[in-house]
Amino acid sequence: MKRKGQQILSTTSSYKASGSGEYEITSEIEAEGYKRVQLTGSANTDRENLQLSSKLLFGKDTYGLSGLSKISQGPRGKWNVDLIYPTRHIVLNAEGGRKRNTFETDFEVAWDKDKDESAKVSLQASGTFKSSRDVTSTSGKLTLTTPFKPVNSLTISMAYDDDAQHYGLNGKMTLGDKSQQISSSLSLSKPLSLRNLQMTWEAETPFQGLNRMDASVAHSIDAAAVNTLVKVSKGQKSMELSVKALNGDVTFASRSLKSDVTFKSSLGIVEDISLSLSHEDDGAIYKCTGAFTRKGDRYQAQLDMNHNLQGWQLRNKGKLVLSTPDNAITTTWEHSNGLNDITCSLTSSWGSGRELKVDLSGSYENIGTTVTGSLNVLSPWSAVRDLSVTLSHDSISSRCTHNSAVVLNGQKKASVTYTFRSDAKALNSDFALTWPWTEDITVKVSSKHAQYPYTAVVRSVMMKASHKQSGDDATSKINIDYGVRQTVNFELRVRPQTLTLARATLKLPWDKVSMVDAGYSFSGSSKNFDSSADFTVQPLLGKYSASLLLNVVADYMGKMRIATPHRQLPYAQLTVTSRKNNIGRVNNIEAEIAPRQIYSLNTVYSFAKPIIFSANVETPLESYRKFAVSMKHTQEDSGIQTQAEVHYPPEQNLEGSFTMDWSTGFQGSLQLKTPFDQYRDNHISVRHDGDWTAFNSHAEVDVASQRASADAQFQVQHLQHRWQAGPQRSCWA
């Protein structure tokens, strides 16, 4: 273009093209009064090696934009974008592809390449997926590098494994160097069902107090046992809860049951708490043990008993031990009876060598004729250190002999002797009473009446005697009058056919000893009977009695009681019951050694659905009033739920619950409540939804008022081209 002979504007352009798809164009523009402008552009239209470029020169300033896309076999690609203008040079590079089961992506942006080489942001991502018949493995890694502080480097990695042995999920996030790293791993063993759960979880963080945390659950159920072990630790602090229940060979004739609940902690407040219960019997030998341990102090109740019944031949002996860290009470007993004899003995010992021992025996040789019996008491009390009572009685229609004696602390306090003989021609009777506090009494009666004249001799004493058979009982009575208003009455009552009843009563005219009474009774059958024996000297000694009650016809019930007139030990009683109700089997063992001094152990268990177990131990000791443990376990086809609670003095409770549900995805939680201020409420939960191609996982830990949560999301889209993974949220409070 020209004006008045002068050149104003000139343009020069060129264009080139080749048959291989390459093109180039160049244009130059010159104008008077303006800077020189040059525009160039080029293109390569090959689909596997696409290149586009443009550049503008305006004077000394350069503006440019170019791009590159190169795709090779693999498949793999490389892309580049280059932007130039006078004040900045921006370069964007990207490269990615797949090699077998591995996907890789590399992305980098430099926004001032010519002036500051470090002014760039890079992002690398990689992922691997493998799948075979028994193994599925997926992993991914994401790395971000920036020049900005404090986020100059961020690395996130995750891996998921599914093989024949377990499911595994691992995640890690690193900010800067390794000192700023958060990692977590979760493993679930196979097979995963309501009968088997093996889980471990570990986490590490850079935060003080939460440097390292881990938790594990080992739970298994089979036909014979339930085992659950839960461990939680935070740094050097740890807690452990163990629940075990063993259901051994349970048949009609035998049973074997065991359970243990243990809580261990390094908190320093409660280091070790455990409760164990066991029961074994084969119908003849019974062994029951209950123990509670706290910080090394053990409280235990142990029962061993042998029981054998064959017709009327009954043999029963046992031992009960109640122990605390400061004292122990041991009680043993033995009972046997048959058609001709009965023997009962009981021994109870406690602190400082104190011991109470009672022996009672009775026998007969011929039905209704010969009866013998004895009662022996040894105690730690000086008033009744050693007491012995013996009795023998032999009678037929024409003859009767009776001897009884009382020995207290090695001294013979009383004795009674009586003989009676008669025939068609004569009668002779002798009675002698010896007592240390009065004069001895002797009575002799004789009579001859075969012919006239009748003769009889009574020496300053009037005596009446009678013998009567009424139903099953035979009763003999003797009445003696001597001196002025001095009367002695003696009565003997026996049941000669079965020997289930015998009682002798002696009434005397003295203030210190007005009555002596002794006897025993037995009623029932070999499987359901009630027996008792007692001895009384009034008012000098008072009354001593013992009873034994046993019923094994419907459920089980046994009761043994000893009563004395002493304030220190008015009575001692042991009661054992076992029965079934709509919940399960209910057992009770109760020992009472003084008014309201009761030690008891109560258990309830059921191995039906749900599995239930509870135990309570109560004592009269102020510091150890009550210990209790309970557990309920429910199992279904799609989940399980376990609840446990421990109560111990003084009014302290430990509560825990564990749940799993895999009906849709997987959900699991563990809750533990303690009486310790720092660990009042503790909670761990895990949730997982989806499969190996796409899933969401969430985990929370709340221990010692420290809370942590983590989320992971994974999705595979178009396996041949793209893979992405990464944590969606990470929150620490």
At residue 445's C-alpha, the angle toward residues 440 and 447, to 5°, is 170
Q: Where are the alpha helices (DSSP H) in 253-360?
A: none
Over the stretch 238-256, which tens digit does the pLDDT of each residue have?
888 888 887 766 666 677 7
What's the mean pLDDT when you consider all of the chain?
81
Question: Read out DSSP for 91-124?
Answer: EEEEEEEEETTEEEEEEEEESSTTT-TT-EEEEE
163 within some domain: no
What pLDDT shows up at residue 731?
Answer: 29
Of residues 454, 400, 475, the one with CA closest to residue 431: 400
Cα–Cα distance for residue pair 499/312, rounded to 1 Å = 13
Work out the number of other CB atoms within 10 angstroms of the CB of residue 377. 22
Number of residues written out for the chain: 733
> Under 8 Å CB-to-CB from 284, ≥6 apart: which residues?
306, 307, 308
189 within some domain: no
Phi, psi of 559, deg, nearest 5: -145, 130
Does 278 score more than 70 pLDDT?
yes
At residue 659's C-alpha, the angle toward residues 654 and 663, to 5°, is 170
Of residues 557, 478, 122, 526, the one with CA closest to residue 314: 526
722 within some domain: yes
Kindly state the tokens that stand for 480: 């003696």
617 within some domain: no
CA distances in angstroms from 378 to 221, 341, 349, 358, 527, listed in the order given: 52, 23, 11, 7, 31
Pick the range with the lowest mean pLDDT from 111-115, 346-350, 468-472.
Answer: 111-115
DSSP letter for 454, please. P
Cα–Cα distance for residue pair 44/50, rounded to 1 Å = 5
711 within some domain: yes
Cα–Cα distance for residue pair 333/160, rounded to 1 Å = 64
Of residues 119, 90, 121, 118, the one with CA closest to residue 107: 121
Does 730 score more than 60 pLDDT?
no
Structural domains counted in the chain: 1
Cα–Cα distance for residue pair 157/192, rounded to 1 Å = 26
627 within some domain: no
Cα–Cα distance for residue pair 656/673, rounded to 1 Å = 6
Domain containing 688: what range?
661-732
502 within some domain: no
Question: pLDDT band at 719, cuts 50/70/90?
Answer: very low
Q: How far is CA 375 from the centre of its chain?
A: 45
What pLDDT shows up at residue 658?
Answer: 87
Over the stretch 162-208, which tens digit does the pLDDT of each residue have?
888 888 888 888 887 767 788 888 888 888 776 788 888 888 888 77
600 within some domain: no
Over the stretch 458-478, which tens digit does the pLDDT of each residue have?
555 667 778 888 888 888 888
Over the stretch 519-542, which tens digit does the pLDDT of each residue have?
988 888 878 888 899 989 888 888
Q: Where are the alpha helices (DSSP H) in 150-257?
A: none
